[in-house]
Amino acid sequence: MTDTLIPAPAATAADAPAHRDPNVLRWLAAYTSSMLGDGVYYLALSWAAVQAGSPAQAGLVMSASALPRAVLMLGGGVIADRLGPRRVVIGSDAVRCAAVLAVAALLFLTTPGLWPLALLALVFGTVDAVFMPAVGALPARLTGKSQLARVQGMRGLAIRFSNVLGAPLGGLGVAVGGASAAFALAGLLIAVSVPLLISVRVRDLPADDAPRPGGTTALGDLAAGLRYIRHHRVLAPLMLAIALGDFGFVGPLNVGLTLLADRRGWGASGMGWVLAGFGVGAGAAALLLAVRGRVPRAG
């Protein structure tokens, strides 16, 4: 099922350049704002968890976000196919915004300990499991195939820009007003994306690219998706490589860097600048893709 609440004009042989398409630019602005909010949120969460508990407890809080995202991601893709990615992205951003702002208010009013952080991490990770597949499905519905690589490059630039700027913003928020201020900033940045997403128009996928139902139920669709990935010579090893990379790097980085910054006296702002450095090199690659607009034999 595709999302056609606000239909876009049919694709033409010569699609408008993605960097000049107002519809694509609105989506890019919404995505960038949402990713900036993510960057601020993750720094605020890891910092608040380390300050409120032991390193082991902080690790559990971060796992409460990562595990549901990993376990439920494939199911999130099925939901995005059935309800339409645009609807799912708007709803996910609204829920994430409400959850983060609620915890910001709670931390401002009281000192509740680790439990609201763990609950927030669980909600955020669960919603992310739906949000991320839906976001990945949107570019093909915003432009034609000739501009798809450029749109993905622009998306990569948005992610790297958010990585570079989001963590320092989160560190600044913690330094100025504590974890509650950083969470509030994250919620407001995510909130900005919602009206922009509502204004984005989507088009139907070409018949050969449209999702093919694997059964009459969501479980049937999920099983069909798993079979497709398992037998695909590019997607199967790619998914395995991404899973191993995230498992070995992302979790230890989130907690380990926070502990290192705390021990060395760098503070939340110093931690933010270290995280920002990771996005610079990857941003150069995304810029190359956005400018070139085409990658032969990408798989």
> Per-residue pLDDT tens for 40-94?
998 899 888 888 877 778 878 877 877 787 777 777 888 888 888 999 999 999 9
Residue 91 belongs to a domain: yes
Contact yes or no for 283/157 (Cβ under 8 A) = yes
Beta bridge partners of residue 7, listed in sequence order: 202
Beta bridge partners of residue 268, listed in sequence order: none
Q: Is the dihedral of CA 105, 38, 133, 117 positive or negative?
A: negative
Rounded Cα distance, 124 and 95, in Å: 8
For residue range 21-45, what is the model confidence (pLDDT) as tens digits?
899 999 999 999 999 999 899 889 9
Residue 272 belongs to a domain: yes
Residue 209 belongs to a domain: no
Residue 7 belongs to a domain: no
CA 97 to chain centre: 13
Q: How many domains does the chain have?
A: 1
Please give the residue range of the domain that contains residue 133. Answer: 22-203+217-292
CA 268 to chain centre: 22
pLDDT: which is higher, 42 or 288: 42
Looking at residue 92, its pLDDT comes to: 92
List the end-to-end C-alpha distance of the chain, in Å, as a whole number: 26
CA distances from 221 to 50, 78, 143 (A): 40, 6, 26
CA atoms within 13 A on the CB side of 175: 15
Residue 168 belongs to a domain: yes
* Cα radius of gyration rounded to whole Å, the chain: 19
Residue 297 belongs to a domain: no
> Is pLDDT of 3 > 60?
no
Q: How confident is residue 236, by pLDDT bands cut at 50, 70 and 90?
A: confident
Contact yes or no for 19/141 (Cβ under 8 A) = no
> Is pLDDT of 7 > 70?
no
Contact yes or no for 68/132 (Cβ under 8 A) = no
Rounded Cα distance, 110 and 47, in Å: 17
> At 91, which CATH number?
1.20.1250.20
Cα angle at 126 between 268 and 53, to 5 degrees?
A: 40
Rounded Cα distance, 148 and 137, in Å: 11
